Amino acid sequence: MENTKPILSSESSKGNIINLQKGRIPPQAIELEEAVLGAMLIDKKGVDEVIDILTPEVFYKEGNKLIFEAIYALFKNSQPIDLLTVSSELRKNSSLEKVGGDFYLIQLTKKVSTSAHIEFHARIIQQKFIQRSLIRISNEIINDSYKDSIDVFELLDEAESKLYDITQGNIKKSAVTSQNLVIQAKKRIEEIAKKEGLSGIATGFEKIDKLTSGWQPSDLIIIAARPGMGKTALTLSMARNIAVIKDVPVAFFSLEMSSVQLITRMISSETGLSSEKLRTGKLASHEWEQLNVKVSSLEKAPLFIDDTPSLSIFDLRAKARRLSSQHGIKLIIVDYLQLMTTGINNKAGNREQEISTISRNLKSLAKELDIPIIALSQLSRAVETRGGTKRPLLSDLRESGAIEQDADIVSFIYRPEYYGIDQWDDEEGSPAEGQADLIIAKHRNGGLGNIRLKFIATLGKFESIKNFDSPFEFQSKMNESNKEIDPKRLPYADDKIDDEDKDLDNLPF
């Protein structure tokens, strides 16, 4: 018989040594997979501990994946989980022979006697799956990097997105059954009920929150106005209310102003000291004390400001993912949209297409992170040339109709005194000085309306108009008597308001 060398140490005709012991196999932990499945088969407690940690994809061995799918199906239908029921479920799906028959299931139950360390083992299995996913993604990135047809910035964004998915434990998101969605929706409704009816991020402005139920997760909100109308002031006021009062993490991306300028404006709003005094530093002793005391709440606020100039949409997405992962931000504000770039050399120079790409990516990012994103936007000069009150319209959105299409909410800031108009365009002709309308012109999931706000120019901030926001305070000023208040007569008691009710909102006090 011809003497042959073992394959583990054989030599090829070219002299290359083949050594399987030095070969690479994907990271795996099959013994732990078997131990976890065995513990799930013998102990219901083991199922409860790891059913939310593991998914079928994390199992390296195909047979183990099928067994977990059977266990999960029984768990979802509230059926008992043991050797017999899992065997029956596999037989029903014609998978019993694929996993090795009843003999393999019996062997799994013999490998463990308790589910004491099942969660620890499950975490290791998950880590091996993450390692395999990183290898797969890395290979995809390497292959794509050799292709000249793929834009380098798109490649960077795709790589960042895939890595972010791994950190969020969402390697591959697939379609979800209506049953799971109904359960999620019911849980969300219960959470909303506990939060007194607000399903989103409360802005601190009562009328805005009433109309929108707060800024909703995955929504793109556009706040548009002409320069100097108060876009930054309004969003800074919101950021202050959300981060300082509600202690909700907020990220503010400023492409126009420096971070020090922004925080100085917030200090002015927080302390009541005018911006002029803060710029010159001419403060009295009691004002220095006021500054030191009142700024402490702002120091502790979970507010993150990024003033990178000419920020590209791809850089924004990378920064936002990092902030979401590290600090759990719940709201992003971008000031403002037209100053952003795509990060791609646009030879055609079509700015409208660029803005379309930016707005589409902002909406995509809002859905990916499941948080609201507020993007400020400029209005075209058409507002200035229009006669009458110069109230903005959706057609005034600058450079792209895609903004209107992608946005869930489009709102405008309108201050009559900006145009030298000292009265509101209502029947009473109430004074407009120091006031503004936030016009909700598009609302994909709710009603439209105009919300009157107070604007304090010296502090660069917006506030609710107290008597306007509080029907009971309004009624007490109208009548000193203790008559019962009819809910139908309260301002903004309903989305649909009679003309007579609107007149009540415009009283000057």
Residue 347 predicted with pLDDT over 70: no
Give residue 506's pLDDT band: very low, low, confident or very high (50, 70, 90). Answer: very low
Domains of the chain in start order, with CATH, are 21-172 (1.10.860.10), 200-343+351-464 (3.40.50.300), 466-509 (no CATH)
Q: Is the pLDDT of residue 63 over 80?
A: yes
- Both structure tokens of 66: 């099928």
Whole-model pTM?
A: 0.61
321 with 369: CB under 8 angstroms? yes
At 455-491, the pLDDT tens digits run 888 888 888 886 544 333 333 343 443 333 343 333 3
Q: Which of 93-97, 283-287, 371-375 has the lowest mean pLDDT?
A: 283-287
- List, for residues 242-288, the tens digit of each pLDDT value: 988 888 899 999 888 888 888 888 888 888 787 777 777 777 888 78
Are the CB atoms for 206 and 197 separated by under 8 Å? no
* Residues known to be catalytic: 256
Long-range contacts of 102-109 (CB under 8 A, 24+ apart): 104/63, 105/41, 105/67, 107/34, 108/34, 108/37, 108/38, 108/41, 108/67, 109/38, 109/41, 109/42, 109/83
Calpha distance 337→359 (Å, rounded): 8
- Read off the pLDDT band of 393 (50, 70, 90): confident
Rounded to whole angstroms, the Cα distance separating 305 from 37 reads: 47
CA distance 88 to 387: 77
pLDDT over 80 (residue 332): yes
Extract the tokens encoding 177.
Answer: 């059954």
